[in-house]
Chains A and B, each alone.
Chain A
Amino acid sequence: QVQLVESGGGVVQPGTSLTLSCAASGFTFSASGMHWVRQAPGKGLEWVAVIWSGGTNTYQLDSLKGQFTISRDNSKNMVFLQMNSLRAEDTAVYYCARGSSFSGGRPEYWGQGTLVTVSS
């Protein structure tokens, strides 16, 4: 069965960097687009970024361009989210989700999330 396990979250100070990881299993990872979605405490879902199956195409929320970078390693069945210059408003649970097609598609299966807290 599809399994997605996020890791790398924690408490970090404003202005620092953090990289989240998502380990995938139970499906053909190299054929699936992958998403990152976040949810601030008590708030709704916010799409962050998507990466196509081959890794050559990536798209992200306009407000996060230059700050967050999505990448993947198909040899290790993993997707990453590098987050720089973190701010308090980046505090959220970050979910990775498998897309329904090679070019992203809808987020279909979700991991349990990893909490990132940006605080001094």
Chain B
Amino acid sequence: QSVLTQPPSVSAAPGQKVTISCSGSSSNIGTNYVSWYQQLPGTAPKLLIYDDNKRPSGIPDRVSGSKSGTSATLGITGLQTGDEADYYCGTWDGSLSTHYVFGTGTKVTVL
């Protein structure tokens, strides 16, 4: 059972915005950077956001990340059909940050 909680699903029409929350605690999100991953159907996860709000090369600026306290949020604006995927947050957990944890995952549906 994951220690990071995400909504099971979110949806919006093309061109609209979606936000995905990731709720944790002081032992994980509260003290460590958060990453976000996109998993398209049948493929491996891909890093979308790291260090709470940084985008790897090639990730468009319509994708954003933020963090406040023990929660993090992923935002996607200008939603496209190609954004339909599962999204996971991830961070280190524990007093020594030796265990990595993923969120429960959120399915984004483009209406």
Please give the residue numbers on chain A whose beta carbons come within 8 Å of chain B beta carbons, in ascending order. 35, 37, 44-47, 50, 59, 61-62, 95, 100, 104, 106-113
Contact B50 A44 (CB under 8 A): no
Closest chain-A Cβ to B37's Cβ sits at a distance in Å of 7
Which residues of the other chain, B, contact A106 by a CB distance below 8 angstroms?
33, 35, 47, 50, 90-91, 100
With A and B bound together, what is the CA distance between A110 and B47 in angstroms?
Answer: 9
The A interface, classified by DSSP as helix, strand, loop or mixed, is strand
The count of chain B contact residues (Cβ–Cβ below 8 Å) is 24
The B interface, classified by DSSP as helix, strand, loop or mixed, is strand
Please give the residue numbers on chain B whose beta carbons come within 8 Å of chain A beta carbons, in ascending order. 2, 33, 35, 37, 39, 43-47, 50, 56, 86, 88, 90-91, 98-105
Given A44-B2, A45-B88, A45-B105, A35:B100 Cβ within 8 A: yes
With A and B bound together, what is the CA distance between A83 and B56 in angstroms?
Answer: 33
With A and B bound together, what is the CA distance between A104 and B90 in angstroms?
Answer: 13
Which residues of the other chain, B, contact A35 by a CB distance below 8 angstroms?
100
Contact A44 B102 (CB under 8 A): yes
Contact of A107 among B90, B99, B103 (CB under 8 A): B90
